[in-house]
Every structure is written in structure tokens, then in C-alpha cells.
Amino acid sequence: MAPIQPPPTNHVRYATILLGVLIVGFIWSSFLYQVLSLRQDPAYIELTTRDIPGIVAPLQALQFRQLILNLLMTLLVTAITFWLKRSLSSQQAAFQALQASQKANAELIERLETEHARSSRAAAIDHLSGLLNRRQFIDLANSLLTEQRRQRRLSALIFIDLDRFKAINDSLGHQVGDQLLQAVAGRIQRSLGKEDLAARFGGDEFVVMLAGDQTEGSIESWVVGLSQKLSSTYELDGVEINNSPSIGIAICPRDGQSLEDLIQGADAAMYSAKQAGRGQYRFFDQSLNRKDVESFLLEQSFADGLGNREFVLHYQPQVDLETMRVTSVEALVRWQHPEFGLLYPDRFIGLAESSGFVIPLGLEVIRLACEQVGQWRKAGLEPVPVAVNVSPHQLARPEFPGQVAEILEACQVSPGMLEMEITETAMLDKQAVVHLHELSKAGIRLALDDFGTGYAGFAHLEAVPVDKLKIDRSLISTICNSHDDSPIVSSTIILAKRMALKVVAEGVETRDQVVHLKVAGCDMVQGYHLGRPMPAEDLPGFLEHFHRLESVA
């Protein structure tokens, strides 16, 4: 048997290199197979476990296959590595985007919370004075009042109203008025204790709640001090202003347990103080003048009365002395108050003027009168012109002529069916005179009311386009039986005729007065002798009855 020859050197070198490659490949592929949970080729495992001299030839056939497998595995791992890296990069980008989004959301939430806090503060604070507004004060004061009662401590509700504020505001302008309110608010704020509350209720009204350990003496001392501070001179826009407050005080629990009762009591006390003169203060007392309390309650209910249409008109006939027929009526306002019943103008007109409600009340009267004319027409009745009283303040407002035109158009009433009665004071206001000319050109009739009680006289009549002159009842009441009883009335009628004015006598209560006025040349009369003011629904029947009687006579 021939001896076994060793392989050639180059074969040995080749076998060694190949073996190293295969071993490395085996380790690499084994690792990958293990990682990837793949099964290795059994032939490869078997061959790699034989002796080196006997495996050279078989390995040459397996070499290519294993190299391709190693390359594929390398590509697979590279692809997986690349995919993992790319996936992780995208995940990181998404995470960073999420972080940025969360940061943006956090910033947005912070801004929203800041804006909410700012808006909450704005909703709680009166923007002009910097004090609490009415709504926020009521919320906080109710809580404070509950705590004060729990600790059995006195509380005081202070109601403050500035004297002459309207006059200052009208004469010096709204800018100075606003500055005065701000200065007053500052002085009130600096007078408060750490537990006290202060608010501007609107207009020139301020409210303070004194809390903590209080006695009636300390409350009164605080009010006196505040009154002195608010009465000190104000320097606004280079103008020195002296003003004073009227103050009302209600104490819990003596004057009421609820905040509403305390506010009402302090307001009533303030009104009583204002009636007593400027710069006064009053504690609420059940024995307060009933008339003052009623006046206060009426003033407080004006807005509700207008909103609920509690104001109604009664109509008083105006009779033509030539034909003895009713040719027009005067609309006289009444207040059908839910608590006090039917109220006449002497109970509320003064309050309306002092509180500013005379403006919306005047528009309501014009609206009611025009609506009634339209209702008479729709019912097939012959409407008569309606006269309404207009205040000088309303006449001077720039929007007034336009508002009247809108009401006439809405009610589909001819301007000639509306007559406006003005007082002599209105003729002294230049803006009011301009508006009177506008109204007259639009076809609205004008009458000068209560002539003889003022100071305008005939000299001012030439500047105003009035159609009628109404002689005041105080002059008519002097007429009795004699023709010479009232030379002023006779002279007034003669002068009015020369100016081509119709003359109406008010307050006619006797037949003798009617006769005297007709002889004197008066055109129309109005008074209880001819007809009392009556609701609109009673007027058609009255007219029919009155005209039938006059035709028989």
C-alpha cells in the first residue's frame, strides 16, 4: 500500500486559508443562525467536524454556497441595522416633536390661565374706578357677611352718593367727571381696613362693607373721617372742585340679616341724608320718613317700571270754544305701580328728573301716545291730535328729533297728529331751539305750556316756532264772574292773537270761566269742567256723549 502523500504546499496553504474562512464563516453564520433562530445546514456541520486532510475536496464544493450565504446574512444584518437605525431616528424625531408639542401645549395652557386670570379680574373690577364692580362685591360681601355673623361681629354697609355730580359732569365734561370718580375711589380705597370691601355700584354711587371687629362708635368715626376726606378739594385738569358725599349706613344684624336688606336700608338712609342737605350721613332707622322711603323705592323701580310698561297715559280733552267740540287731547302720564297703585306725576316726575329717567320716560310717553293714535285709527275711530309734555333736557339731546321720527314711522302716524308741549325754560337753550325748528318743519305741532309762570315772556316767542300758547291754571283760577277779574289773562290773549298763536286756557273748572274766556277771545279750554283725564278706552264714549250734548244745547 502506497504511503499517503502529503498535499502540495499550495494545497495546504489553500486548505489552511479556506479552513480559516470557513471557521470564521461558521462562527459568524452560527451566531446569526442563533440570533435569527434559523437552522444550520446539517451537511455543513458534518463536514466542519472531520479531519482537515479529508475535507479539502468536499469543502471546495461547499465554499461558494457558504460564501453566498454569509454575504446574504451580512446584507440581512446590514439591512436590519439600517432599518432599526432609521426606525429609531424616526421614533426619536417623533419623540422630539411630541416633546415640542407638549411644551407648546404647556405654554398655551399657561397663557390661557394668565388670560383667564386677567379676564376674571377684569370681570370683577370696575374699569373706571379700580374698585370691585357690583356683581363681584355682592358675591364677596355675602361670604364676608356670613363669616361676620358666624363670629358674632358687627358689619356695616355704607352707601355713598356724590352731591352735585351731575352738575359737575354736565358743566365740566365727562372727562373731568370720570377723573372725579377715580379720585373719590382712590380716597375710599385708602380708607379701607384689610377685611373691608369697596365697590362702585354705577354712576356716582359707591358701597363699602366694614368688617372685622367693629362697634357702632368705630363705624360712625370711620364714616365721619371718610366724609371729610371726600369733601376735600379735588384738583382735576387744572380745575379745583369742591364736592361732598351723602352717606347712608345700615348695620348687621340690627338693620337686617341679608345683604339685600342692608343695601336697601343703607340706600334709604343715604336718600334721607341727601334730603337733609349736602355732606350729611344717616344711620338707617325704621322711623325714617315714610315719604322719603317711598321716594327711594320709586326711584329704584324706575327701570323695572319702564321695562314692564307700567306707565300708562290718561287723556284730557281740549275743547274748541268756537265749535264746542273736542279737537285735541293732552296725554298725561300715570304710573301703575305694582306696590303703590296708580301714581300721578307729582309723585314721580321730580324723581325722574333728578335720577335721569326723565329721558327714557319722555320717549315712552311719545311712543304710547303714537301707538294709541294708531289703535284708534285701526278701530275705525276718528283720531284726534295728541299733545305730550317734553322736558327741556330731552329737547336738548342731539338724538331726540331722530328718535321722534323713528317712533312716528314705526307707529305709522302722521306728524300732524302729534303735538309737543314745552316750557319756557326750553326756549332759553340754543340746542333745544334748533331741535324745535326741526320738529316744526317735520310737521309736529308745538305749544308753549304753563305760560305766565316763567320768565321767558313774549320776547322769546319770536325765536320759537310755537303754534299754541297755554295759559297756566294759576292765572285762570283768578277768573270769577267779572270780565275785569284777570286783566293779565285778557292781555295775554290779545298779544298772542297778534302773534297768530292759538290760545288754550288750562285748569278751567267753572262755567263762568268758560264764558269769560270765550268773550276774551280764547280759542280752546281744558279742565275738569269739560272733562277729567281718562284712560284711552273711555275716550271714544266720552267724545260721543259730549258732542251729542253740545249739539242738543
pLDDT reported for residue 116: 58
Q: How far is residue 500's CA from residue 324's CA, in Å, rounded to a whole number?
A: 21
* β-bridge pairing 341-343 and 311-320: unpaired
More confident residue, 145 or 294: 145
pLDDT bracket for residue 453 (50, 70, 90) = low
- pLDDT tens for residues 30-80? 554 454 444 444 444 444 444 455 555 555 555 666 667 777 777 787 888
d(Cα 329, Cα 260) in Å, to the nearest integer?
Answer: 44
Listed residue (244, 246, 230, 242) closest to 172, CA to CA: 242
| Amino acid in position 56 | V
- How far is Cα of residue 109 from the mean position of the Cα atoms in its chain? 31
One-letter amino acid identity for 287?
Answer: S
- Split at pLDDT 50, 70, 90, the class of 14 is very low
pLDDT tens per residue across span 188-197:
999 999 999 9
Q: Is 384:418 a contact under the CB 8 Å cutoff?
A: no
Residues 177 and 180: their CA atoms lie apart, in Å, by: 5
- pLDDT (0 to 100) of residue 63: 62
Q: Provide CB contacts within 8 A for 497, sequence distance 6+.
A: 503, 521
User: What is the value of pTM for the model shown?
Assistant: 0.56
**Among residues 261, 175, 160, 141, which one has the least CA distance to residue 207?**
160
Q: Which residue has the cell 325722574?
A: 352
At residue 211, the pLDDT reads 92
What is the tally of helices (H) and strands (E) in the chain? 20, 17
Name the residue with cell 475535507. Answer: 55
Do 319 and 542 touch, CB atoms closer than 8 A?
no
How much is the CA Rg of the chain, to the nearest whole Å? Answer: 49
Nearest-angstrom CA–CA distance, 374 and 537:
13
Helix (H) or strand (E) segment spanning residue 139: helix 134-150
Contact present, 178 and 285 (Cβ < 8 Å): no
